[in-house]
Structure 1
Amino acid sequence: MKLSVVFVIVAFATIVYAAPQSGYSTKFDSIDLEAIIANDRLVDSYVACLLERGKCTAEGEELKKNMKDAVETCCSKCSDKQKKGTRIAFSHLEKNKPEKLSELRAKFDPTGEYEKECRKKLTA
């Protein structure tokens, strides 16, 4: 699996699942990740939001706000549910949207410095 997918997944997981008090916001806990990844339009919208090429929903803004930190810390503030969501989204994007992964990698980890460590932590 390519780690750039992890970045998107971390982002989705950040808004989708509950987080501990010291973690990411729990404001969007009720979002259905499976429904999002099953809808190409929604996935594309979230990616466009992250890449600052499109409008962001409230959920997208939360995602964008936490994305850099989540990538740089390999989701250290994620709950177990968020990490599970990260793996689900990662798998989906790797199989179905590899071009979007490349774009996200270029923005959030252009040198690949976080990829190796995050891959170990999030795909184990």
Structure 2
Amino acid sequence: MMTTRNKITRRLAVITVLLFFSFTNGFTEKYTSKFDSIDIDEILNNERLLKNYMNCLMERGPCTTEGSDLKRILPEALELDCAKCTDIQKEKANKVIMYLAKNKKPMWKELEEKYDTDGKYRIKYREKYGVDLENI
């Protein structure tokens, strides 16, 4: 027969193991890095390429492999504050956000209407980075 102390010790051991696995899985699961080498400046400075990505994200046109992957993971990346993004992906995402909000306001507004209907990600971005995307 198991004593109360043994039951508590066993439960603590199980909880510890579960927490360990949940934390380590959370920290190691990242989006694929196979597209980290994409030249984001080339896309941002090429109106045709930028428009093609925009049409893909807005479901108005075909998607490249990269565009399809971006469209698939974008809602989750926004929801999780890019927790699964590599450092390079986070850097590039911030660059794209700042560029579009500052230089391509109609595109930015359209993306916000589709992917941030209630404005919660805009607020989160302002709180995290101190940048008000409305007033760039």
- The TM tier, using the shorter chain, reads 0.7 to 0.9
Q: Please give the alpha-carbon distance, in whole angstroms, between the structure 2 residues aligned to 1:123 and 1:79.
A: 22
CA distances 1:21-68 after superposition (whole Å, capped 9, x unpaired):
511111222211111111111111111101101110011001111011
Which structure shows the bigger proportion of residues in helix conformation?
2
Aligned to 1:57: 64
Match of 2:104 among 90, 97, 103: 97
CA contact (8 A) 1:50 1:60 kept: yes
1:110 aligns with 2:117: yes
Which range is displaced more, 102-111 or 79-88?
79-88
Q: How big is the shift at 1:91?
A: 2.2
Q: Please give the alpha-carbon distance, in whole angstroms, between the structure 1 residues aligned to 2:84 and 2:55.
A: 24
TM-score scaled by structure 2?
0.69
Aligned length: 105
CA contact (8 A) 1:74 1:122 kept: no
Aligned to 1:74: 81
Structure 2, unaligned runs of 5 or more: 1-26, 132-136
Q: How big is the shift at 1:96?
A: 1.9
CA contact (8 A) 2:77 2:83 kept: yes
Distance 1:65 1:122, change over 3 A: farther
CA contact (8 A) 1:24 1:78 kept: yes
Aligned to 1:29: 36
After superposition, the CA RMSD in angstroms is 1.9
Match of 1:45 among 42, 45, 52: 52
Letter aligned with residue 103 of structure 2: N
Higher relative contact order (CA 8 A, sep 6+): 1
Structure 1, unaligned runs of 5 or more: 1-19
Letter aligned with residue 45 of structure 1: N
Distance 1:23 1:29, change over 3 A: same
Aligned to 2:5: none
Identity rate, percent: 41
CA contact (8 A) 2:36 2:88 kept: no
Aligned to 1:121: 128
